[in-house]
Chain A
């Protein structure tokens, strides 16, 4: 018998602009010991579905309009607040996406772990602090925290992101729930940490026989972890089935589109790099920042970039890969002279850029541009598309007041925006369209060199594919040279001719993309490559079997 059975669930949001059917007629069930993945792009209603089960939605505007949800035969949708509290405490636990914000920074990890035991709603089941502490330490050990009895008294900021997510998992499991809801638990984590967390969830599920609902947008992750998959789009279920069925013989168009959008395999476009002519030369570049929490001579500086040398040939697409904190973004900014350089030099077209004043740099600025990661933060919310796109043109004297409209329209055309949208503000656009605006701003000055810093990591997978194609098309048309910074190895492989792997400020390995992929030399590269989840359940299973 299924532990959770959801039937015809409808959750509508009543907003000023009308009713939004966030979840519309959704049904699924989960058994104990089973993992159900809910897959969908942002706005598909996958999170709303699960939050509504635990009554975690703001009401209003949310309203449950129909359907039923039975947990072990008890209805979740129309139980009293007290009963819901009991369910949350004993039966159903949830792990959120961002481990950085889901722990209270003012309480020790141990204190937060003991909370549900010491303050249990049922006084008869409250436990003494001593017993709770013992249990918490045991659980910390189980989720792989080293030295748990010492770490028990640490504060959240003393843990890394992956460790915090482990703590979150321990917290979810401490009341021994029967159902665990994981809302994108690894999205905010690096790929190697992600692999560890996924293995941990799988392993704990086996030993404790809990049911897991795994919400994710990442089909690669889902392929490795799920027994059953629900594909959601715009609040409705497109398809339900076992993992193999969904991945290998889907009949649904949307699922097919999702699977096709995953960047896979090598770059298909020809390598246009002129190996003999170097455009950007980075020589022993170092960028150190003062360490605010320095305790002595050794850690006076944070060595974000520590002696990197590399060459970027004209026409080349260079992929720069690293995990968070590897210094890859700082390197990109330092090359563009947006971050300070401590020593070393950056040469662009035989002109040394390091040490130039802002005025001397100005003519070079238009030749090198940047595309940023977050299309929500990279556009000034108080400037229309026209203002954003005309600014570089006017400022660099590439257009005058009369010709600027024409040029902006041309630019919007180039990046696939409709001309009617010229007077709109950024908030009126979707994430993908915003990224198009940002790309338009970057290519407005007809640069020769572009640094794209994770330009697609904030986007849904189908949008991601469109933006990647747009970037490739623009690179082709304007004969651009590009440095593509990303943590997503599949994307880098799909887009770049050559790849540089960075870790903790130093260059680990570089080489042509396919050579590095098929034959990595350094251990770090091997570890990184083996951690990439692939949207292929069979190969994921065989790899998991190997690791177990």
Chain B
């Protein structure tokens, strides 16, 4: 067939839709996922703007007031020191969301790369890399964090890194399992026979095909990281009062649950809402990123 019979396609066809563009088109049709995305965006924006929009200062105490139920001046009530709960939840959200996203991002990056490399090359490389993972698994997590804190001093960024450094282990295992199943597929062999470099194969052919389970695990990791932060803070290793995080607020709320239930309920709602939003978004993303689900 002669060259000129091939009509040059329209601009749209030429630029084409990438995996992510397709995913966005599909995601827009998933109402639950959009709801999740919307909730997350509202939460993130309000956390960013908290210092300007919060009704009170986070450390402003009113000991005379004490713990009061929700009222017009304090929408979500006050805690035992008379501090405004709405303000505290907003400030707490800053810490919790930051921990959740940064620590999970750290876990994601290390975990995916580590797992993909170990699974793809296999053999001795795999054995060594996975033994390192096993050793880290076996290391008591608390001791690890305490050591970090002792050596580097208490620092919120360090806390993020410490949590991320623990959470990537499971991610690496998941990705490695996926990659081992993928690397013997014929399309990987086809890529090899084209002479693609190993790194290109991992990046273009292997990692995109592991996205489904990775996304689901990510949406599970974020809330668990938030709770982990609460646990560490409770032990005095994380952030300290008067600063707050959702996890800390919930912990204190549990202690006074019987007398002042709103101290537990409202931070609980904030965390659960985030969790739901993440799960809806995660499921939506997983489906949207799978080309096998239809676009319409």
Are A and B part of the same complex? yes
B14 touches A365 (CB 8 A): no
Min Cβ gap B26→A in Å is 12
B291 touches A378 (CB 8 A): no
Query: How would residues 179 to 204 of chain B score, 1 for a CB under 8 Å from any chain A CB and 0 otherwise?
Result: 00000011101111111111010001
Closest to B1 in A: A413
A365 B195 Cβ-Cβ under 8 A: yes
Stretch at the interface among A21-29, A87-95, A421-429, A485-493: A421-429
Among A145-153, A264-272, A369-377, the stretch in contact with B: A369-377
Kindly state whether residue B16 has any CB partner on chain A within 8 Å. yes
With A382-B208, A423-B17 known to touch, is A441 a contact of B9 (CB < 8 Å)? no
Contact of B193 among A365, A384, A419 (CB under 8 A): A365
**Partner of A410 from B6, B185, B292 at Cβ < 8 Å:** B6
Map CB proximity to B onto A348-366 as digits: 1 under 8 Å, 0 otherwise.
Answer: 0000000000100110011
Q: Does B205 contact A (CB under 8 A)?
A: yes
In the assembled complex, the Cα of A405 lies from the Cα of B15 at a distance in Å of 9
Give the complex CA separation of A361 and B19 in angstroms. Answer: 31
- From B16, B189, B195, B292, A423 is in contact (CB under 8 Å) with B16
CB pair A441 B6 closer than 8 Å = no
Residue in A358, A380, A427 whose beta carbon sits within 8 Å of that of B292 in the complex: A427
Complex Cα–Cα for A432 and B51 (A) = 62
Most central of B187, B191, B209 by chain A CB within 10 Å:
B187
Closest CB-CB distance, A69 to chain B, in whole Å? 35
Enumerate chain A residues within 8 angstroms of B193, measured Cβ to Cβ: 336, 338, 365, 368-370
Q: Give Cα distance in the complex from A365 to B14, angstroms.
A: 28
Known: A366-B195, A391-B194. A373 touches B186 (CB 8 A): yes
Chain B residues closer than 8 Å to A438, beta-carbon distance: 190
Chain B residues with CB under 8 Å of A425's CB are 291-292
CB nearest neighbor in B for A379: B187
Decide if B72 is an interface residue (CB 8 Å cutoff). no
A392 with B194: CB separation less than 8 A: yes
The docked-state distance in angstroms from the alpha carbon of A381 to that of B185 is 11
Most chain-B CB neighbours within 10 Å: which of A333, A374, A396, A406?
A406
Identify which of A338, A382, A384 gathers the most chain B CB atoms within 10 Å of its CB: A382
CB-CB under 8 A from B204, the residues of chain A are 380, 383, 391
In contact, B291 and A427 (Cβ under 8 angstroms): yes
8 Å CB interface, A396-419 against B: 396, 405-406, 409-410, 413-414, 419
Instruction: With CB as the reference atom, state the residue of chain A lying closest to B200.
Output: A395
Contact A365-B16, Cβ < 8 Å, known A372-B189, A378-B186, A380-B187: no
A445 beta carbon closer than 8 Å to chain B:
yes
- Give bound CA distance, A50 to B238, whole Å: 65
Tell me if A409 and B6 are in contact (CB < 8 A): yes
Binding site for A on B (CB under 8 A): 1, 3, 5-9, 13-14, 16-17, 19, 185-187, 189-198, 200, 204-205, 208-209, 211, 289, 291-292
Q: Mark A382-395, 1 if CB is under 8 A from B, else 0.
A: 11101000011001
In the complex, which of the residues A333, A380, A391, A423 contacts B209, with contact meaning CB atoms closer than 8 Å? A380
Q: With A and B bound together, what is the CA distance between A94 and B229 in angstroms? A: 58
Interface size class of A (residues with CB under 8 A): 35 or more
Given contacts A366-B195, A370-B193, A413-B1, contact A377 B187 (CB under 8 A): yes
CA distance A147 to B218 in the complex (A): 55
Given A413-B6, A423-B16, A427-B291; A378-B1 close (CB under 8 Å): no
Collect the chain B residues with CB atoms within 8 Å of residue A441's CB. Answer: 190, 194
**At the interface, is chain B mostly helix, strand, loop or mixed?**
helix
Residues of chain A within 8 A of B292, CB atoms compared:
381, 425, 427
- 5 smallest CB-CB distances across A and B, nearest first, come from A365-B195, A378-B186, A425-B291, A372-B186, A377-B186
Which residues in window 432-447 of A have CB below 8 A to B? Answer: 438, 441-442, 445
Known contacts A423-B17, A425-B291, A427-B291: A378-B195 contact under CB 8 Å: no
Per the bound structure, the CA–CA distance linking A405 and B191 in Å amounts to: 20
Taken together as a complex, chains A and B put the C-alpha atoms of A419 and B189 apart, in Å, by 26
Write the nearest CB–CB distance from A533 to chain B, whole angstroms.
28
Asked if B194 and A445 make an inter-chain contact with CB atoms under 8 angstroms apart, the answer reads yes
Q: Is B190 within 8 A of A372, CB to CB?
A: yes
Contact check, A338 vs B192: say whether CB atoms are below 8 A apart: yes
**A381 engages B209 (CB within 8 Å):** yes
CB pair A395–B190 under 8 Å, yes or no, is no
With the chains together, A419 CA to B5 CA distance in Å?
12
Q: Which residues of A contact B191 (CB under 8 A)?
A: 380, 391
Contact A395 B195 (CB under 8 A): yes
**Contacting pair A405 B209 (CB below 8 A):** no
- Find out whether the CB atom of A370 lies under 8 angstroms from the CB atom of B291: no
A422–B8 CA distance with the chains assembled, in angstroms: 12
Q: Quick one: closest B residue to A376, CB to CB?
A: B186
Max chain B C-beta neighbours (<10 A), residue from A380, A386, A410? A380
Interchain CB contact under 8 A, B3 and A410: yes
CB distance from A468 to the nearest CB of B (A): 20
Q: Which of A101-131 contact B (CB under 8 A)?
A: none
Complex interface: chain A residues within 8 A of B9 (CB): 405, 409, 419, 422
23 CB < 8 A contacts A-B: A338-B192, A338-B193, A358-B198, A366-B194, A369-B193, A377-B187, A378-B185, A380-B187, A380-B191, A380-B204, A381-B292, A382-B19, A386-B16, A391-B194, A391-B204, A395-B195, A409-B6, A410-B6, A413-B1, A413-B5, A423-B16, A423-B17, A425-B291
Q: Which residue of A lies closest to B182 (CB)?
A: A380
* Complex CA–CA separation, A527 to B23 (angstroms): 54
Q: Smallest CB–CB gap between A200 and chain B, Å?
A: 33
| Contact among B6, B13, B291 for A382, CB-based, below 8 A | B291
CA distance A79 to B296 in the complex (A): 40
| A405: contacting residue among B8, B17, B194, CB under 8 A | B8
Q: Are B194 and A365 in contact (CB under 8 A)?
A: yes
Residue of A378, A382, A419, A423 touching B190 (CB-CB under 8 A): A378
**Choice from A338, A373, A384 contacting B16 with Cβ under 8 Å:** A384
